[in-house]
A and B are shown apart, each in its own frame.
Chain A
């Protein structure tokens, strides 16, 4: 028996019954340790590393995408602002041109109206001159007739006749005579 063996000694069960327990325990533990160190732990660590890389890669990827999205958003916003500016400019321009068109149209209409009026006036003037000259001719006759009638028929009412003649002549004078 090995000196450190035996459960019947003074130390009782505090000493191994057989040294074989000690040796076998150590050897088995060493074998497990080697398997852990060579196989199990590297396998786990490899998986963890891969997972880590995947997660890190995923985060980087999503960060890159986020940056891209941010840039695109900024670009679109800029474009939108530009478009709004352009639209405002176009509206302004349209308003301006509308006003111009209105002014031009009004001016044209006014000119046309003036022209029409002038033409009408000229025509009226011409007609009046014609009428006046016609009337003058007729008035002479009429006046002669009237005078004849007055003179011939109503001497008694001399005063009234003269007044009528006066009035008539006055009215005649008042009529504008245009060429």
Chain B
């Protein structure tokens, strides 16, 4: 479990000395000499406070790589399941249709209703991309949910924000859409002074923020808990009086217990991974639906 073992698996998280929030830091795949100098052990050069990475350190990181792998996996998966589709589906096509119907009928059609067809590709891409990235949190070689890096979550939240606003503006025109989203139907005029700003904040600012934060926070916290149970548990299990001050044999018992409980934590994390992908998709559909509706 030393740093060397982690080094053998390039995409996995940081070495144990850094397990904390630092474990979420990206590592460059091809570290520059500057980065290596500033991320080593011991005292660091004074220049590291300023710029400690080149552009390759920022654009070719383990987390970027796993996002790319997820995207390729998603595209390959869908291409495989619709390869030479048949009227009577085989097993391969059946799996694809099951997932496709879940988003197409269960999310797009049920929530958006009329004109749902246009939004199926977006929702399908959204759901599968998030799902695969979330499942990376429980997949060896990765062991890191991509969306616990908030940049990815903000990216998708921004995309959904643009989507539902664009859909509304296209349907009602800029003024009509803006009125729909800020002036609720049936509210007396004097109250609008209070309600309209609240509606504006709720529909244009809170929505994307909560969308991104919800996804990020669930996976961030989930991964943190996994690390506490697995890395912390194994550290406690392997602790000896020689390695740690204040050692007591109860540490080893607690560590073993924590490792056992980690299975339960992993199960919960699997659920969270699927649930968050689904929730993000459903909420996007919900926002599109509210943008398209006549009277808000």
Contact = CB atoms under 8 A, between A and B. Distances in A.
Interface residues of A, number: 37
Contacts of A37: 121-122
A7 B23 CA distance: 12
A41 B26 contact: no
A26 interface: yes
Contact of A17 (B75, B79, B149): B149
A136 interface: no
Interface SS of chain B: helix, strand, loop or mixed? helix
Contacts of B59: 18, 20, 24
A35 interface: yes
Contacts of B126: 29
B34 interface: no
A36 B26 contact: no
A29 B155 contact: yes
Nearest to B93: A47
Contacts of B141: none
Contacts of A9: none
Contacts of A12: 21
Given A16-B149, A21-B64, A26 B159 contact: yes
B125 A36 contact: yes
Contact of B74 (A18, A26, A32): A32
B235 interface: no
Contacts of A35: 75, 78-79, 125
B124 A41 contact: yes
Interface in B142-164: 149-156, 158-159
Given A29-B129, A39-B82, 16 more contacts: A7-B21, A7-B24, A13-B220, A19-B58, A20-B58, A20-B151, A21-B26, A21-B63, A22-B158, A24-B155, A25-B153, A28-B71, A39-B79, A40-B82, A44-B85, A47-B86
Contacts of A33: 121-122, 125
Interface of B: 21, 24-26, 51, 58-59, 61, 63-64, 67-68, 70-71, 74-75, 78-79, 82, 85-87, 89, 93, 96-97, 100, 104, 117, 120-122, 124-126, 128-129, 149-156, 158-159, 213, 216, 220
Contact of A40 (B70, B124, B153): B124
A175 interface: no
Contacts of B63: 21
A118 interface: no
Contacts of B26: 17-18, 21
| Residue of A20, A25, A26, A35 contacting most chain B CB atoms (<10 Å) | A25
B190 to A, nearest CB: 37
B71 to A, nearest CB: 4
Interface of A: 1, 7, 12-26, 28-33, 35-37, 39-41, 43-47, 50-51, 54
A24 B60 CA distance: 10
A10 to B, nearest CB: 14
Contact of B64 (A24, A40, A43): A24
Nearest to B163: A33
Contacts of B159: 26, 29-30
A31 B82 CA distance: 18
| Residue of B64, B71, B151 contacting most chain A CB atoms (<10 Å) | B151
Query: 6 smallest A-B Cβ distances: which pairs?
Result: A21-B151, A16-B151, A25-B155, A37-B121, A36-B121, A25-B152
Nearest to B52: A1
B232 to A, nearest CB: 19
Contacts of B86: 47
Nearest to A45: B117
A32 B71 contact: yes
8 contacts: A13-B21, A18-B59, A20-B58, A22-B155, A24-B59, A39-B79, A40-B78, A50-B87
Given A28-B71, A46-B85, A36 B213 contact: no
B153 to A, nearest CB: 8
Contacts of B67: 21, 24-25, 28
